Amino acid sequence: MACLVRYGAVTKLGDMSGPEFRRFGHELIDWIADYFENIDNLPVLSSIEPGDLKAQLPATPPQTGESMEQILADLDRLIVPALTHWNHPSFFAYFATSTSGPGILGELLTAAFDNKAMLWRTSPASTELEEVTLDWLRQMMGLDPGMIGIIYDTASVSSMHAIAAAREGVEQRIREDGMSGRPDLPLLRVYASEQAHSSIEKAVITLGLGQRGLRKIPTDRDFRMDAKALAAAIEEDKRDGYLPFCIVATVGTTSTSSIDPVPEIIPIREQHAMWLHVDAAYAGSAAIVPEFRSILAGCERADSLVTNPHKWLFTPFDLSVLYCRHMDLLKRAFSLVPEYLRTPEQEKVRSGSDYGIQLGRRFRALKLWMVMRYFGHEGLAARIREHCRLADLFASWVEESAEWELMAPHPLALVCFRARRSSLPEKELDALNEAIMHGVNSSGRALLSHTRLNDKLTLRLSIGNIRTTEQHVRQVWELLNEQLRRAE
Ligand SMILES: Cc1ncc(COP(=O)(O)O)c(C=O)c1O
């Protein structure tokens, strides 16, 4: 029997022993529980300099195994200081997100089972749990039963698949003949607002449509797609020989969380028989709160919609859900079954690999199922509702203050604002706000991010972390005011 020589002793091949796994498994769960109990005391933003971590790690791989004690000691010593703590309750940047206890335990089980859910038979549990869990989520969001869900890693990938299905629907034999060297193929075009996420442009690039395959539609003063401008753009493109085939509306844009007027977009999409994809990556979760369900008004006529439980449903990254009304087109775009993947039951079951570029798929549904069962619809909705209340509260402080101003409406839990000084020219005002943000972020006590609105540097405060309380929001408000006084 082959053996390894380790620290002079003869070690059998095979995995870590059961007792050792048990010991370090328990230790790590304790470690994680301590991490969450003490997370308030950690700096939100890592303060290391680029290259610091790499400089402390050996450049060559370990020749012999190391003990778990050594590995875990390095976790504390090297890895934790190099983390930006997304689970910190004062993380208000980008879209604030967080994991949760049941989500972490679900992820642990996914790693233990290590299923590759490419075919139904390679993981019946993953395939069927995904179908059931996504149907629960569909019901919670108030989407109609015609919307069938499928999990991808991220919204970027979900949207890319949706646009690929839309492209398959134009019946131009693109799957068979491709797009290059084809004088018979008109230029295909996708439409999204100027505020749409960059993932839409990346999807268009990935699908071979080129950047000019995306036409960006102007927005109104509230950063919502201008439906009249959309209609005019499509008419103009048709006259110019383009083939408009897909509109992407955003419910919850990245910069301001603005909501495109889907009910006004529907008649345009119907007139031109185009696919309507809704990017609700961030805001979709809010639709599980009955009083916010109207954010999805009109989406009952959409062809596809993406929402990210890893953003605002307390599910660890990554888990994005694409709801699609035309699973046949999605399958037609991606299914390719070589002999070695054929199974007797294939006509009766769903196999995830038929609906995307990946063959093997992680068992992601497990963590979402555990999160949904543990908190329940009411528990999840209550947390999202509280985040929106806290955002309203913060926005009211901004509104009441002579020193700050709101820069956009805040329909959900994201507030766009900045310090104001009527005496300062715009450039200096930008610099002042940048200095405030830098001061807050480098303090380690909170993390904000920024955007540009109407060419003005704008600070963003996003509330979405399961541990964020009113006290954390009060603290960041005090910190902002402290930094404002210091920056002047
Ligand atoms: C509206 C919107 N769409 C798409 C994305 C991309 O999400 P992901 O990181 O899951 O690809 C984001 C990310 O913040 C987003 O805000």
Per-residue pLDDT in tens (0 to 9) along the chain, 488 residues: 444 555 565 657 999 999 999 999 999 999 999 999 999 999 999 999 999 999 999 999 999 999 999 999 999 999 999 999 999 999 999 999 999 999 999 999 999 999 999 999 999 999 999 999 999 999 999 999 999 999 999 999 999 999 999 999 999 999 999 999 999 999 999 999 999 999 999 999 999 999 999 999 999 999 999 999 999 999 999 999 999 999 999 999 999 999 999 999 999 999 999 999 999 999 999 999 999 999 999 999 999 999 999 999 999 999 999 999 999 999 999 999 999 999 999 999 999 999 999 999 999 999 999 999 999 999 999 999 999 999 999 999 999 999 999 999 999 999 999 999 988 999 999 999 999 999 999 999 999 999 999 999 999 999 999 999 999 999 999 999 999 999 87
Per-residue pLDDT of 22-54, as tens digits, reads 999 999 999 999 999 999 999 999 999 999 999
Residue 411 in tokens: 């329909």
- Report the chain's terminal Cα–Cα distance, integer Å: 74
Which phi and psi angles does 324 have, rounded to 5°? -140, 140
Atom of ligand 1 nearest to the CA of 153: 10
The answer, yes or no, to whether any atom of ligand 1 lies below 6 A from the CB of 197, is: yes
Cα 281 to middle of ligand 1, angstroms: 6
Angle of helix 198-206 versus helix 155-168 axis, rounded to 10: 50
The answer, yes or no, to whether any atom of ligand 1 lies below 6 A from the CB of 254, is: yes
Residue 11 pLDDT = 55
Residue nearest atom 16 of ligand 1, based on CA coordinates:
254
Cα 473 to middle of ligand 1, angstroms: 24
Strand pairing class (275-279; 304-307): parallel
The answer, yes or no, to whether any atom of ligand 1 lies below 6 A from the CB of 107, is: no
The answer, yes or no, to whether any atom of ligand 1 lies below 6 A from the CB of 312, is: no
Cα 197 to middle of ligand 1, angstroms: 6
Residue nearest atom 9 of ligand 1, based on CA coordinates:
154
Residue nearest atom 15 of ligand 1, based on CA coordinates:
254
Residue 286 in tokens: 């809010």
Q: How many whole angstroms separate alpha carbon 414 and alpha carbon 259?
A: 12
**What pTM did the predictor assign?**
0.95
Residue 3 pLDDT = 47
Q: How many whole angstroms separate alpha carbon 83 and alpha carbon 86?
A: 9
Residue nearest atom 7 of ligand 1, based on CA coordinates:
155
Q: Which residues contact 434 (CB under 8 A, 6 or more apart)?
A: 450, 457
Q: How many whole angstroms separate alpha carbon 204 and alpha carbon 212?
A: 9
The answer, yes or no, to whether any atom of ligand 1 lies below 6 A from the CB of 281, is: yes
Cα 200 to middle of ligand 1, angstroms: 9
Query: Which of 91, 198, 199 maximizes ligand 1 atoms within 8 Å of its Cβ, making it the mutation to test the pocket?
Result: 199
The answer, yes or no, to whether any atom of ligand 1 lies below 6 A from the CB of 126, is: no
Task: Say whether the peptide bond before residue 226 is cis (omega within 30 degrees of 0).
Answer: no
The answer, yes or no, to whether any atom of ligand 1 lies below 6 A from the CB of 258, is: no
Residue nearest atom 5 of ligand 1, based on CA coordinates:
155
The answer, yes or no, to whether any atom of ligand 1 lies below 6 A from the CB of 303, is: no
Cα 251 to middle of ligand 1, angstroms: 11
Query: Which of 156, 256, 295 maximizes ligand 1 atoms within 8 Å of its Cβ, making it the mutation to test the pocket?
Result: 156
Alpha-carbon Rg for the chain, nearest whole angstrom, is 25
The answer, yes or no, to whether any atom of ligand 1 lies below 6 A from the CB of 251, is: no
Cα 451 to middle of ligand 1, angstroms: 15
Surface-to-core class of residue 53, CB atoms within 10 Å of its CB (0-12 exposed, 13-18 middle, 19+ buried): middle
Taken in order 346, 352, 356, 357, the sign of the CA dihedral is negative
Atom of ligand 1 nearest to the CA of 320: 10
The answer, yes or no, to whether any atom of ligand 1 lies below 6 A from the CB of 97, is: no
Q: How many whole angstroms separate alpha carbon 248 and alpha carbon 261?
A: 11
> Please, are residues 259 and 294 in contact by the beta-carbon 8 Å criterion?
no
Strand pairing class (9-12; 3-6): antiparallel
The answer, yes or no, to whether any atom of ligand 1 lies below 6 A from the CB of 95, is: yes
Query: Which of 282, 306, 414 maximizes ligand 1 atoms within 8 Å of its Cβ, making it the mutation to test the pocket?
Result: 282
Atom of ligand 1 nearest to the CA of 250: 1
Q: Which residues contact 393 (CB under 8 A, 6 or more apart)?
A: 470, 473
Q: How many whole angstroms separate alpha carbon 322 and alpha carbon 193?
A: 20
Sheet harboring 188-193: ordered strands across?
148-152, 320-324, 304-307, 275-279, 243-250, 188-193, 214-217
Q: How many whole angstroms separate alpha carbon 300 and alpha carbon 15?
A: 50
Residue 488 pLDDT = 76
Residue 471 in tokens: 């006290």
